[in-house]
Amino acid sequence: MRQFHPDLRLQHLRRAVARLALAAAAVLPLAAAAPAGAVDDATAALRERAFATLWREDAGAAIDLFLEYLQAPGADADAEARRGLALAYAWDGRQNDAIAAYRRLLDADPGDGESRVGLGRSLLWQGRLGEGRAVLREAEGGDDATARAAGDVMLVALDEYTPPFNATLGATWDSDDLDIARLSVTGTFSVDGGRLLQAMPARTWYRQPGQPDATGQRLGAGLATGLGRRWALHAYGWLDRLRSDDDLPATGERLDWDVAGGDAWLTWLPAARWRLDLGAGSQAVETYAAFAQRLERRQASLSLERRLDGTWSAGLSGIAGDYTDGNRSDRVTARLAWRRDGAVLWQAGPVLTYLDFRTPYPGGYWAPARMRSAALEASVRGRGRAVAWRLSGSLGREQEAGADAITVGGVSARVGWRLAPDWLLGLEAGHAASSLSSASGYRRTSASVDLRAFF
C-alpha cells in the first residue's frame, strides 16, 4: 500500500511531540524564581515542583500544583506561574481553559508578549485557525522577543500543521519502472468551535513501459475533531475514478473503475505520556496488475506509544490487512526512540518489523512470506527565522523466508521556506532501497513541492 504505512500513527506522534517541544521552548523559558518576598519558602518550593512536573510532560499533575500554588497569598501576582498554568492546560488538551487563562493574563497586561503567543498557539491547537493566525500575526508586530516567538510558532504551523490551504505536486519512481505523479489540493475550514472540515480533490497520472497511460481523479472530504479532552477523531473518505488511455494488456479492455476509499483513526490519551491510536482504512492498490484485477486493500491498525521520560520513548504497532483477492497480511513494528530537544531536534533509535502474507506473491503487489527487518532510524530538524528543515535516514537488514538477508536503507530531506507572512513553500525528496517502501518495486525515489497558506 502506498498510503497506509503501518507506522504512520507513531510517526505522526513523534512529529507532534517534536514540534510541541520546539514551539513551547520558544514561548516559555525555564521557570524563573518566584518574585522576591512574595511567598514563603514552602510555597516557592511548590512552584518549583509545578514547573518541574510540567517539563516532565505530566500536564495534569502540573495543573493541580499550579492551582495550589496560585491560591497562596501573594502568588496570584506571579505572571510566570500563571503562564505555566496556561501552558499546562494546553498540553493537557484543555484548550478552552488555556485560552481563558491567556486572555486573563492579557487583560492584566496587554503588553505580555509570551501570553499573546501562547493564546495564538492554543487557538491553532483547538482548530480555530483564523483566530490563531490573527493573534500570532499581531504578536509578530511586537518587540523582538515576542516577534521571534510568534514567528517560530507560525513557521512550525505552516510547515507541519494543517493549514487552510495546501497544494502539493509529488512524484514517485519505482524500480519496476512504475511512475506516479499526483497533484492534490486540500482546503481546510474551521467550523463549530474548532472542528476542521476538509475538501481534498486530486489528480494522479500513472505510467509504466508496456502499459497504457492511466489517470485517476479523486474527490475527497475529511473531518478532524476533538471528542473531549483526551479523545480525537480523524476521518477521511474519497471516490477515485481510474481510467486508461488504451486497453490493459492483462484484460484487453480499458481501465474504467470507480472505487471508494477512506482512512480514519481514533486517538486516546489515557494518561500522561501514553497515546493509543485505533485506525481503519480502504483503498485501491496502485499497480497496473492490481488495476487489472480491481484489487482493493482494507486494513485495521492499533498503535501504542509510551514516553518513558524526557529523552526516550517506546512504541508498538500492529496492522492487519486483507485484499479483495482473498489474501491477508499481518505486520508488527516495535521501536525505541531517543530524542534531544532544543533549537535543533535530534532523534534516533532501532526499529524491528515482522511482515507476513497468507499467500506470498499472488500477483499484483509485493507480498513476502515471514519477512523480518531490523533497522536504525535517525532524524535531525531545526529552523531559522524563515526556514524549517529536516533530514532523515535509515540503515538496516531485511530477510524473507528462504532468502538471504540484504542491506536496506533510505534518506529523505525537507526544506520549508516562509516566503511571505502567511505562505510557505516546501521542497521534499527521498530515496528508499527497501522492500517496505512501496507496493510494487524494491527501490523508490520520491520528490514533491508544496505550497501552504493561512488565511
Tell me the per-residue pLDDT of 72-104, one tens digit each, with 9 for 90 and over: 988 888 999 999 999 999 998 899 999 999 999
Distance CA 291, CA 127 (A): 38
Distance CA 23, CA 159 (A): 12
Contact call for residues 118 and 150 (beta carbons, < 8 A): no
- Identify the pLDDT of residue 32: 55
* 292-315: average pLDDT: 94
Place of cell 482493493: 296
pLDDT band at 24 (very low <50, low <70, confident <90, very high): very low
Domain boundaries along the sequence of the chain: 31-160, 164-453
Most confident of 22-31, 324-333, 435-444: 324-333
User: Is the pLDDT score of 34 beyond 70?
Assistant: no
The SS3 of residue 50 is helix
Buried b / exposed e along 247-272 (16+ C-beta atoms within 10 A): ebeeeeeebebebebbbbbebebeeb
Distance CA 155, CA 422 (A): 9
- Identify the pLDDT of residue 38: 62
Its CATH architecture, for the domain 164-453, is Beta Barrel (2.40)
- Identify the pLDDT of residue 364: 82
- Identify the pLDDT of residue 235: 97
Q: Which parts of 56-143 fold into alpha helices (H)?
A: 59-70, 79-91, 95-108, 113-125, 129-139
User: Is the pLDDT score of 37 beyond 60?
Assistant: no
* 349-361: average pLDDT: 94
pLDDT band at 56 (very low <50, low <70, confident <90, very high): confident
pLDDT digits (tens, 9 = 90+) for 217-262: 999 999 999 888 789 999 999 999 999 999 999 999 999 999 999 9
* Residue 37 main-chain phi, psi, to 5 deg: 75, -5
pLDDT digits (tens, 9 = 90+) for 389-418: 999 999 999 999 989 999 999 999 999 999
Beta bridge partners of 254: 247
- The three cell numbers of residue 259 are 472505487
Contact call for residues 132 and 98 (beta carbons, < 8 A): no
Residue 4 CB: number of other CB atoms within 10 A? 19
Contact call for residues 24 and 294 (beta carbons, < 8 A): no
The SS3 of residue 163 is coil
User: Is the pLDDT score of 25 beyond 60?
Assistant: no
Q: How far is CA 416 from CA 40, 139, 147, 423, in A?
A: 48, 22, 19, 10
* Residue 15 main-chain phi, psi, to 5 deg: -65, -40
280, 93, 18, 61 alpha-carbon torsion, rounded to 10°: -120
Distance CA 427, CA 446 (A): 11
Its CATH architecture, for the domain 31-160, is Alpha Horseshoe (1.25)
What angle (nearest 5°) sits at the alpha carbon of residue 101, between those of residues 97 and 103? 120
Instruction: State percent of the chain over pLDDT 90.
Output: 76
User: Is the pLDDT score of 16 beyond 70?
Assistant: no
Buried b / exposed e along 365-401 (16+ C-beta atoms within 10 A): bbbbeebbbebebebebebeeeebbbebbbebebbbe
Distance CA 297, CA 161 (A): 28
If residue 360 lies in a helix (H) or strand (E), which one and from where to where? none
The SS3 of residue 260 is strand
Residue 337 CB: number of other CB atoms within 10 A? 23
Contacts of 194 (CB under 8 A, 6+ apart): 95, 126, 127, 128, 225, 226
Q: Which parts of 218-362 fold into alpha helices (H)?
A: 288-293
pLDDT digits (tens, 9 = 90+) for 136-164: 999 999 999 999 999 999 999 999 998 99
- The three cell numbers of residue 428 are 521534499
Distance CA 111, CA 147 (A): 12
If residue 197 lies in a helix (H) or strand (E), which one and from where to where? strand 195-199
What angle (nearest 5°) sits at the alpha carbon of residue 381, between those of residues 375 and 384? 170
